[in-house]
Structure 1
Amino acid sequence: MAPAEPAAATPRRGYGALWASVPRELGFLILTMPIAITGLVVVSTVFFTGVGMIALVVGIFLMIAAFFTARGFGTLELVRLRWAGRPEIRRPQWPRTDGTGGFWRATFSPFVDGHYWLYLLHTLVVNPIVSVFSWTVTIAWVSGALGGLTGWIWQPFIPADDRGFWLNQWILDRIAPGTASLVDPVAGERVLELLLGVMFLLTLPLVFRGLTLMHDGVARGMLGAWRSEALEREVAELSASRGAAVQAEDASLRRLERDIHDGPQQRLVRLQMDLASIERRLDQDPEAARALIAEARDQARETLDELRALSRGFAPPLLQDRGLGSALGALAARSPVTVAFDNGLGADASLPAPIERNAYFIAAELLTNVAKHSAATAARLRVQTRALADGTHWLDLWVTDNGRGGASVAAGHGLAGLDDRVRGLRGVLVVDSPAGGPTVVGAHIPFQPVGAGSGASEPVTPPTV
């Protein structure tokens, strides 16, 4: 049971897309200056009051309050930009303030965190200046468009005065000297205002987009996370995923060691004892020796069966020779439970060998759990690859059964080790197993196709399932 891929929506482009964004961008720009001035008044009052009272203990805490208030206004700016349709800006990794690092360390962390100072500078200086400019241009452009387009309606109701200067006549004198007197100045002024209103209206979405991009650029430079933080986070994620993979492999090896010790090793010890007994009785009691030979043959057959069962946890030669699809098909055919195999891998599926080997292990473990714990009578195994719009490639492996349900990735359950293995591959394990069934388990693993260039990349995001 594979997740359905959402239909790719074709984004609107060009001038029409700019007009579609006008309402959101106008809402963003029209509220910019009131919010910026409010932030300036509140934060400056609290911060500089704290600076003036720094000799007293309360002054330090007032400055800390100003830092957190500036952080709130900066975060509001990021939220508003996202609401205006701009791509999300990655937020900084703020220090923990839950007391786990100590009360005083959490309390005074804003003084040593550069992000707090940038947020303070943005709230006190940068945002008020930029906002006054963008708000003024927004009001001027909206007023010019509305006034020019509607002036011919309301201007006749305004009492006439002795105007000594008409803009339309001045322009006509510059273009064609002597023709200004041939045009009625009032009618010419109405036509000029209408043309200016049309010009303001046509350029309105371009101006709004430019002003919004200006705020977006300032926010990305001052309110966003630093690249070094993204690198540190990726290193931490890689360390955690590799640690999870090592733990999963260690648990698998310990389980395999225990299974060999409790199964084939004990049978081989018994077989060795039977062979020694046969050797002693072969001349004195051939009939008893013949019976022991039959028992030894049964012991050897059972030992071979157990070794074959254990070897299913290792990558079979079929996986290396014919690929993941053929190996999973053979695995499904050997399952004690009837398994329908749905192979969605194309003939050109260029999967790396480690991904194929891990996918085979995951499928083998899932089918083993189905046979041992689910009480299912039928199951389905599906595998496929997907290429997403962001250039990432995913291997999706699903196992569905009609058993009693109740599967969980909680500690102590059978799927916990699989979850560690999948996370070690930077993937995600999805489990849907209500009481009474059915159970659906999906493993989604990112991979780089064989032959694709290698290099550092951004951390992948699990696909929506």
Structure 2
Amino acid sequence: MSTDTVPTDRPDDATAILRPELPGNASSANMTTTTTDAAPLRRGYGALWAKVPREFGFLILTMPIAIIGLVVLSTVFFTGLGLVTIFVGIFLMVASFYIARGFGTLELIRLRWAGRPEIRRPAWARDGREQGFWRSAFAPFIDGHYWLYLLHTLVINPIVSIVTWSITVAWTSVALAGTTGWIWQPFIPTGDRTFWLNEWLVDRFLPGNELTYDPVVGERILEVILGLVFLATLPFVFRGLTLLHDVVARGVLGAWRSEALEVEVAQLAASRGAAVQAEDASLRRLERDIHDGPQQRLVRLQMDLATIERRLEQDPGSAKALVGEAREQAREALDELRALSRGFAPPILQDRGLAAGLESLASRSPVPVIVEVDLADGLLPAPIERNAYFIAAELLTNAAKHAEATAIRLRVGTRDEGPAGHWVDVWVTDNGHGGAAPTPGHGLAGLDERVRGLRGMLVIDSPPGGPTTIGAHVPYVPLGASGTAAGTVPGVV
């Protein structure tokens, strides 16, 4: 994982901490910055001509590659099929499956090079099918993709390639010969030629005409007209033929939609598991905090009240002093309970929103905190606000306790990544000694589980000597964008 701008110099105060830039894109695996090309895209007929060289290179090589694949694969596959009874044939058939996979992958690479959108490839190693020698050897027999790749290389691609290659050669030949024939044809002897296509067309469409002209000149003019027509339509033909290969490859060589659903289900299951673990850890910590804090004070308060009850008549002065201590114990217990209640839903967060909650959070920090809030997308769903608050609280607490920092910068913002969805980013930068890492059983590890439970990611950049930059990135659905504006894993609040 990477961040865009990480502070490199250790500042002396909060105003010197550099502002971390928000990443431009997010995925389940990493965070990277993407840039868009400001130059306008070429469109229309000119855009078709711009891709003609690549599409021609793709089409002209299609049939030679298809024939080579057919010859090599049919030799290995059918030889293996014939020798399958002596066991050697099985390994030849396995080799043929991998050869088919290689030619199919080459077709996908060539289509991408020709300018077609990338086709998602099958997940060959799913379910651990290619882990270990024997699994890798016999996986093709139970994987439908290998059989489809075999069918594509043996049957489909040779047939389609012969058709598209023939049309490509014929169309290109007519276009080039027609537009340039008037230059080189005068140097070729015509012999005793008696049939002229231009004369036949004139007699066909103008029967009984008495036109007198040189048939050789008429033939040259007709060839130029045909050449210009074929040349003008050349980009459309190349695009159509390339698109035909693309459609075939998407249907036969591409990954299945069911595989994407399997991956999504697995990710959701992992996210839910991480969320359950994070919530379980939070409950255990809350139980420990209640046991060590308010519960102990309430036990002492009960004991003080019992003592007061015994001394009230015999020693009123001593009882009065104990009443003051009991009142102080009750106040401290109440303060601790209020502090713990913020772990559920801080009242200021519910009443005034995330920005006010973060300001209140920063004001209670023992280390000076600069707060920057940029919620460009408006109101966030309540579960996202709560989780962003808790994440910020955990990061500020870690920085104050462990980083030995003298200044902290907290930045919370939202961004719209288009197809990638909406994201809320929580950045905390401190000028401490660095070296922060998600050690199992400690705060950052639990925070990482919490963020992953929200289908987000935690980015940590903390070199020795500091400074430390930690960013939590969580996806969400804006209010009003769907039927349920939750933006979190179902069941996680």
Tell whether the 8 Å contact from 1:47 to 1:63 is kept in structure 2 after alignment. yes
Cα gap change, 1:401 to 1:198, in 2 (>3 Å): farther
Residue 426 (structure 1) aligned with residue 455 (structure 2): yes
CA distance in 2, matches of 1:39, 1:97: 29
Tell whether the 8 Å contact from 1:29 to 1:134 is kept in structure 2 after alignment. yes
CA offset digits 1:269-316 (Å, max 9, x no partner): 344444544555566666766665665555555544544443332221
Match of 2:432 in 1: 403
Match of 2:27 in 1: none
Where structure 2 has 5 or more consecutive residues not aligned to the other structure, the ranges are 1-19, 25-34
Give the deviation of 1:320 after TM superposition: 2.2
Tell whether the 8 Å contact from 2:274 to 2:449 is kept in structure 1 after alignment. yes
Task: Please tell me the root mean square deviation across aligned C-alpha atoms, in Å.
Answer: 2.9
Match of 1:227 in 2: 257
CA distance in 2, matches of 1:247, 1:274: 39
Tell whether the 8 Å contact from 1:396 to 1:445 is kept in structure 2 after alignment. yes
CA distance in 2, matches of 1:422, 1:36: 49
Match of 2:370 in 1: 340
Match of 1:437 in 2: 466
CA distance in 1, matches of 2:158, 2:74: 12
Tell me, what secondary structure is at the counterpart of 1:451?
A: coil
Match of 1:148 in 2: 178
Tell me, what secondary structure is at the counterpart of 2:170?
A: helix
Choose from 149, 160, 165 the match for 1:119. 149
Tell me, what secondary structure is at the counterpart of 2:84?
A: coil
Choose from 140, 147, 150 the match for 1:110. 140
Alignment of 1:17-416 (within 5 A): 17-95=47-125, 104-177=134-207, 182-280=212-310, 296=326, 299-346=329-376, 349-390=378-419, 392-409=421-438, 411-416=440-445
| Aligned residue identity for 2:425 | D
Tell me, what secondary structure is at the counterpart of 1:442?
A: strand
CA distance in 2, matches of 1:57, 1:307: 74
Cα gap change, 1:186 to 1:3, in 2 (>3 Å): farther
> What is the TM-score normalised by the length of structure 2?
0.83
Cα gap change, 1:101 to 1:182, in 2 (>3 Å): same
Segment drifting more, 380-389 vs 7-16: 7-16
Tell me, what secondary structure is at the counterpart of 1:182?
A: coil
Segment drifting more, 248-257 vs 395-404: 395-404
CA offset digits 1:386-415 (Å, max 9, x no partner): 223327222222222222222233534532
Segment drifting more, 414-423 vs 182-191: 182-191
Tell whether the 8 Å contact from 2:456 to 2:472 is kept in structure 1 after alignment. yes
CA distance in 1, matches of 2:127, 2:450: 32
Give the deviation of 1:106 after TM superposition: 4.5
| Aligned residue identity for 1:138 | T
Give the deviation of 1:364 after TM superposition: 1.4
CA distance in 2, matches of 1:302, 1:172: 109
Segment drifting more, 242-251 vs 232-241: 232-241
Segment drifting more, 203-212 vs 267-276: 267-276
Residue 13 (structure 1) aligned with residue 50 (structure 2): no
Match of 1:3 in 2: 22
Give the deviation of 1:166 after TM superposition: 2.1
Tell me, what secondary structure is at the counterpart of 1:221?
A: helix
Segment drifting more, 422-431 vs 281-290: 281-290
Give the deviation of 1:93 after TM superposition: 2.8
Give the deviation of 1:214 after TM superposition: 0.7
Cα gap change, 1:28 to 1:411, in 2 (>3 Å): farther
Give the deviation of 1:241 after TM superposition: 0.9
CA distance in 1, matches of 2:69, 2:91: 18
Tell whether the 8 Å contact from 1:383 to 1:396 is kept in structure 2 after alignment. yes
Tell me, what secondary structure is at the counterpart of 2:22?
A: coil
Tell whether the 8 Å contact from 1:430 to 1:443 is kept in structure 2 after alignment. yes
Tell whether the 8 Å contact from 1:387 to 1:394 is kept in structure 2 after alignment. yes
CA distance in 1, matches of 2:442, 2:214: 90
Give the deviation of 1:168 after TM superposition: 2.5
Percentage identity across paired residues of the two chains: 71
Give the deviation of 1:50 after TM superposition: 0.5
Cα gap change, 1:259 to 1:11, in 2 (>3 Å): farther
CA offset digits 1:392-450 (Å, max 9, x no partner): 22222222222222223353453222222222222222222222222222222222222
Segment drifting more, 235-244 vs 285-294: 285-294
Tell whether the 8 Å contact from 2:130 to 2:139 is kept in structure 1 after alignment. no
Match of 2:13 in 1: none
Cα gap change, 1:407 to 1:202, in 2 (>3 Å): farther
Tell whether the 8 Å contact from 2:422 to 2:475 is kept in structure 1 after alignment. yes
Give the deviation of 1:2 after TM superposition: 3.4
> What is the TM-score normalised by the length of structure 1?
0.88
Match of 2:3 in 1: none
Give the deviation of 1:246 after TM superposition: 0.5
Tell whether the 8 Å contact from 1:173 to 1:180 is kept in structure 2 after alignment. no
| Aligned residue identity for 1:450 | L
CA distance in 2, matches of 1:33, 1:138: 11
Alignment length (residue pairs): 456
CA offset digits 1:76-101 (Å, max 9, x no partner): 21222222222222222325597887
Give the deviation of 1:58 after TM superposition: 0.5
Match of 1:463 in 2: none
CA distance in 1, matches of 2:424, 2:42: 31
CA distance in 2, matches of 1:50, 1:60: 6
